[in-house]
């Protein structure tokens, strides 16, 4: 079990480079970042600043070219794909811009999906799904499929799916990008409430002012570097 006093994320000297034609794009340049349990952090910056790349590296969806990343006490450097997949399944929740819901499953079944992969018993799955759907304001809508839900409701299902698995860390990539202003603000308020009541650690990649206004910590990125780090 990881030390609750230790950082949930420790990024040290991380570099990420991509080939582009005859040149090399430096997506991340020597990034250092520490996230402690219970933080509600926004990675802010324009397109191409490196925020999504950093989020993907923390989530084990991509690999760094240099540096070290430790998540929940696990050093990602050198882990094979099976070990990374197991870490993502058990300890990291994801909320994507595109929702990534399964169209033929109901909201409850989508929220339950990761629990099925984890082998959680049926009664416990139902309890967690009911609790998480209620926590994101979807009580009574568990039987609806994604096509029967609004964009904001679909994103809340995605949040419920991430929450139900009780991860140590939730990573959200532009979670409000496809939502109107009011719906986006409501979603971020819901996430902030989950952070308050459950102590869940959230890290967002975003350029949305609504997220920035509600974040407790803002890490600004430009050209693959962290240029400021402000706690509120």
Is 222 contained in some domain?
A: yes
Structure tokens at 109: 């079944």
3-state secondary structure the chain: CCCCCCCCEEEEEEEEEEEECCEEEEEEEEEEEEECCCCEEEEECCCCCCHHHHHHHHCCCCCCCEEEEEECCEECCCCCHHHHHHHHHHHEEEECCCCCCCCCCCHHHHHHHHHHHHCCCHHHHHHHHHHHHHHCCCCCCCCCCHHHCCHHHHHHHHHHHHHHCCCCEEEEECCCCCCCHHHHHHHHHHHHHHHHHHCCEEEEEECCHHHHHHCCEEEEEECCEEEEEEEC
Q: Mean pLDDT lowest for which of 120-124, 151-155, 216-220?
A: 151-155
Is 3 contained in some domain?
A: no
> At residue 231, does pLDDT exceed 60?
yes
Position 219 confidence tier, pLDDT thresholds 50, 70, 90: very high
Question: What pLDDT score was predicted for residue 3?
Answer: 52
Average pLDDT over residues 119-135: 92
Is 142 contained in some domain?
A: yes
Q: pTM for the full model? A: 0.90
Position 123 confidence tier, pLDDT thresholds 50, 70, 90: very high
Question: What pLDDT score was predicted for residue 4?
Answer: 55
Name the domain count of the chain. 1
Question: What pLDDT score was predicted for residue 1?
Answer: 44
Residues 120, 112: Cα–Cα separation, whole Å? 10
Residues 183, 186: Cα–Cα separation, whole Å? 5
Question: What pLDDT score was predicted for residue 84?
Answer: 95
Average pLDDT over residues 154-159: 90
Average pLDDT value over all residues in the chain: 91
Look up the domain containing 61 and give its range: 9-231
pLDDT digits (tens, 9 = 90+) for 7-43: 999 999 999 998 888 889 899 999 999 999 999 999 9
Q: What is the CATH number of the domain that holds 86?
A: 3.40.50.300
Q: What residues contact 150, with CB distance under 8 A and at least 6 apart? A: 183
Average pLDDT over residues 162-166: 87
pLDDT digits (tens, 9 = 90+) for 50-65: 999 999 999 999 999 9
């Amino acid at each position: 079990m990881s030390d609750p006093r230790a950082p949930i994320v420790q990024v040290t000297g991380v570099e990420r480079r991509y080939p582009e034609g005859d040149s090399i794009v430096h997506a991340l340049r020597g990034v250092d970042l520490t996230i402690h349990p219970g933080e509600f952090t926004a990675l802010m910056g324009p397109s191409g600043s490196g925020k999504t790349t950093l989020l993907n590296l923390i989530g084990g969806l991509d690999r760094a070219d240099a540096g070290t990343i430790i998540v929940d006490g696990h050093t990602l450097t050198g882990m094979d794909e099976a070990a990374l997949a197991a870490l993502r399944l058990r300890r990291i929740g994801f909320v994507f811009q595109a929702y990534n819901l399964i169209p033929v499953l109901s909201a409850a079944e989508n929220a339950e999906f990761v629990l099925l992969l984890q082998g959680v018993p049926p009664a416990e799955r139902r309890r967690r799904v009911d609790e998480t759907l209620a926590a994101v304001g979807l009580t009574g809508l568990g039987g609806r499929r994604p096509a029967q839900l609004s964009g904001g409701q679909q994103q809340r299902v995605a949040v419920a799916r991430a929450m139900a698995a009780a991860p140590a860390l939730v990573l959200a990539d532009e979670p409000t990008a496809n939502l109107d202003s009011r719906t986006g603000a409501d979603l971020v308020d819901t996430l902030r409430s989950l952070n308050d009541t459950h102590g869940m650690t959230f890290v967002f990649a975003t350029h949305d002012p609504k997220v920035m206004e509600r974040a407790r910590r803002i890490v600004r990125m430009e050209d693959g570097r962290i240029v400021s780090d402000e706690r509120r």
